Structures are given as structure tokens and as C-alpha cells.
Amino acid sequence: DTAVSQTPKYLVTQMGNDKSIKCEQNLGHDTMYWYKQDSKKFLKIMFSYNNKELIINETVPNRFSPKSPDKAHLNLHINSLELGDSAVYFCASSPLLQGVESSGNTIYFGEGSWLTVV
Amino acid sequence: GENVEQHPSTLSVQEGDSAVIKCTYSDSASNYFPWYKQELGKGPQLIIDIRSNVGEKKDQRIAVTLNKTAKHFSLHITETQPEDSAVYFCAAHNQAGTALIFGKGTTLSVSS
């Protein structure tokens, strides 16, 4: 009964390949996110979706394409993988957009997907 | 846009000592400041948060203080234990209020 689950947990692939990471949340939240954590542990927002609609695309290369078939799922597809894409990718969700004043507006993170491009 | 600075990047303490991690933010409109703990191989987990209408919040051994005038907030952990060893992140909203912007993290090591 994991709240935010993402698969796969580990992914090793060659440069130039296309890969996808799937994410699902069973919390009934309206908003989902993808964050990237590099080797220095920096956590950076990539995308956010609210009720299946794209809210943020933080200057991420268009090789990265998020897809939200419904508000419980936000998948990340990456084309033409490069060495610099190696990182941990975290999916997350929150009840509402962060800017909405709410006492329960916590972001919940998944366990991460470790992507290594060789 | 919002910029969150976090210090120190590493912190080593003896078991039982206190640990303090400090963050500053740039956007005076930010009103929500959470702290996350990330253990090895896991995703970040919220440990405490504070909103701009209060100056301090405490939860057992963990407390957070907020100074809106100076635009800084701090995490205080008392009576540290080895299981407190982890990476801690502070965060604040981006300008549009649509996502959290994280500090660069503090690696806390508690030795027994």
C-alpha cells in the first residue's frame, strides 16, 4: 500500500536508447511532480501536473516527455538518453498545487528510480 | 525566481549533541517552509514544516524557526541519535507557488 510508487527502481541503459519511468499515487492527490536528483544530491523540479494538465516545465530538454493519463499517474519518457541524464528521478504528489494555502499540502515522494546511462 | 541557500553542506556531531541547519530564501512572498529527511537509498520524507504565520514549531526533538523579516529559517535537532544521520533538505515555494524549490542539502552524521 505504498503511497507513491515508481518503477523501475533501477535502470541501466545505453546512450541513445529510449526509456520510461512509471509513477502512480494512491493518495487521491490532484498534483504530481517529477524531480531530478544529481550525484551531488541536488533536488530539482522538472515537471508538475495538476489534474492531468502540465503546470511547470522547468527548462527540461524536450527529450523528456511526461504523460499523465489520469491524475493518479504521471509517467516520464526519455528519448535519446545521454550520459548526463544519469541521476535519481523522484516522482511526488501533493493534494493541491503548492501555492494554494492549505494545512495539508505536503509533498510525498516516491522511493526514486536510479537511472544509469552507459 | 526563488532561490534557497542551505548551510552547512555537511555536519558531524556526537550523539546527544544538538544540530542546527540554516536556510535563506529570496522570495518574500513565500509562505510555506518544509524540511525533508532523506535516508540512503530512499525518497525525501517530510519531517516538519512551518507556515509564515508562526515563528516557531516543535515536534519532540525537532524544531523549526522562521524569521520572515530576515528571510531565513532553521532546523534544530536536539539530543541527536545515530538514526538522525541522513541528508536534510529545506525548501520554499517557487515564485508562482507551483512547486517546492529545495536547498542543496545537509549531510548530517551522528556518531555514537
pLDDT tens for each residue of A91-111: 999 987 655 555 447 889 999
> What is the arithmetic mean of pLDDT over B20-47?
93
* CB within 8 Å: A109 and B101: no
Give CA A71 to chain center in angstroms: 13
pLDDT for the residue B2: 82
> What is the arithmetic mean of pLDDT over B76-80?
98
Residue B35 contacts A where some CB pair is shorter than 8 Å: no
pLDDT at B82 over 90: yes
pLDDT for the residue A55: 82
State the pLDDT confidence band at A15, using cuts at 50, 70 and 90: very high
Query: How many Cβ pairs closer than 8 A exist between chain A and B?
Result: 67
Residue A34 contacts B where some CB pair is shorter than 8 Å: no
Mean pLDDT of the residues in chain B: 93
pLDDT at A85 over 70: yes
Pair B9, B23: CB distance under 8 Å: no
pLDDT for the residue A99: 54
Please report, for residues A31, A90, A115, B95, B98, the alpha-carbon distance to residue A6 in angstroms, rounded to integers and kept in the order given: 16, 8, 12, 28, 22
pLDDT at A88 over 60: yes
Over its C-alpha atoms, chain A yields an Rg (Å, rounded) of 14
State the pLDDT confidence band at A76, using cuts at 50, 70 and 90: very high
Which chain B residues are closer than 8 Å to A44 by Cβ?
Answer: 102
* CB within 8 Å: A33 and B99: yes
CA distance A13 to chain B (A): 20
CA distance B91 to chain A (A): 10
pLDDT at B86 over 60: yes
pLDDT for the residue A58: 76
Say how many C-beta atoms besides its own lie within 10 A of residue A55's C-beta: 18
State the pLDDT confidence band at A51, using cuts at 50, 70 and 90: confident
Grid cell digits, residue A61: 530538454
Residue A21 contacts B where some CB pair is shorter than 8 Å: no
Query: Nearest chain B Cα to A103, which residue?
Result: B51
CA torsion angle A101 A103 A105 A107 (round to 10)? 130
- Residue reference for cell 544540530: B19
- Residue reference for cell 540554516: B22
CA distance B104 to chain A (A): 5
Which residue type does A52 have?
A: K
pLDDT at A33 over 80: yes
Grid cell digits, residue A60: 527540461
